[in-house]
Amino acid sequence: MLFQGSNGMSIQRLLFVYLSLIINYVNAFYFYHEGNERKCFSKELTAGSVFYGSYKVQIYDDSLKTYKSPDSSTDLEVIIDVEEIFDGDERIVHQKSGSEGQFTFNTQESGEHRICIKPQSSGWLSKTKAKIDLEMSVGSDISLDSKKRHTMESLHGKIDLLISKMAQIKDEQKLMRDREAQFRDLSEAVNSGAMWWTVIQIIILGITCAWQMKHLATFFVKQKVM
């Protein structure tokens, strides 16, 4: 137990109330749909709140006997309507999207709202069965955006890590280039030194041979050989 006694219970109650105020609630469910019918449900919303919804439509495949996501070539669009029931069914949202999408709106007044989803298509698809997964969140801008912000922060962190690794790779490449330049300069210096040493040796050998020839010529003259 973290808290004990009456004071602990009071703190727990205050903490629960605080969390219930700052954390938005998420409701996820799915329902089945047939043809081009319109499915609606009602939601009591307070003024100043933000409603966020995401949906995904799957089409029933007779050959596989299961529901699967339609391909990009499928002629399917989803119509999202949001109406204020308390204000003469005034429509505040009318959106057309593909088989998977999102919708968001701010409530200006407190009251009951009707959210309607209507997948529509032509041809054989207009009579097929569909499964619609729907997730709804209601809260403030900050609470609803926290997940996206966390995702963005995670992506930024990964990007920063990649940039850091690229900088590290560049530093290592620069170090390798510097070492290669030093090795090249050293090799050129050694090769140059070896060349000059060879030239010096040839010069010394030439001088030695010339001196020996002169010395032998003088010796032979003294010995009256020549």
* Greater model confidence, 72 or 193: 193
Whether the CB-CB separation of 57 and 120 falls below 8 Å is answered with no
Predicted TM-score (pTM) of the model is: 0.50
Work out the pLDDT band at 116, boundaries 50, 70, 90: very high
pLDDT in tens, 56-77: 988 888 888 888 888 776 778 8
- The CATH code of domain 25-139 reads 2.60.120.510
Whether the CB-CB separation of 105 and 93 falls below 8 Å is answered with yes
DSSP 8-state class, residue 44: E
Average of per-residue pLDDT values in the chain: 78
What is the predicted pLDDT for the residue at 18? 45
What is the predicted pLDDT for the residue at 11? 52
- Here the contacts of 121-124 (C-beta below 8 Å, separation 24 or greater) are 121/36, 121/74, 121/75, 121/76, 121/77, 122/75, 123/75
- Going from N- to C-terminal start, the domains of the chain cover 25-139
Q: What is the CA radius of gyration of the chain?
A: 43
CB atoms inside a 10 Å sphere around CB 74: 15
Type of residue at 208: T
pLDDT in tens, 205-224: 888 888 888 777 777 776 66
pLDDT in tens, 80-111: 999 998 888 888 899 988 888 888 888 888 88
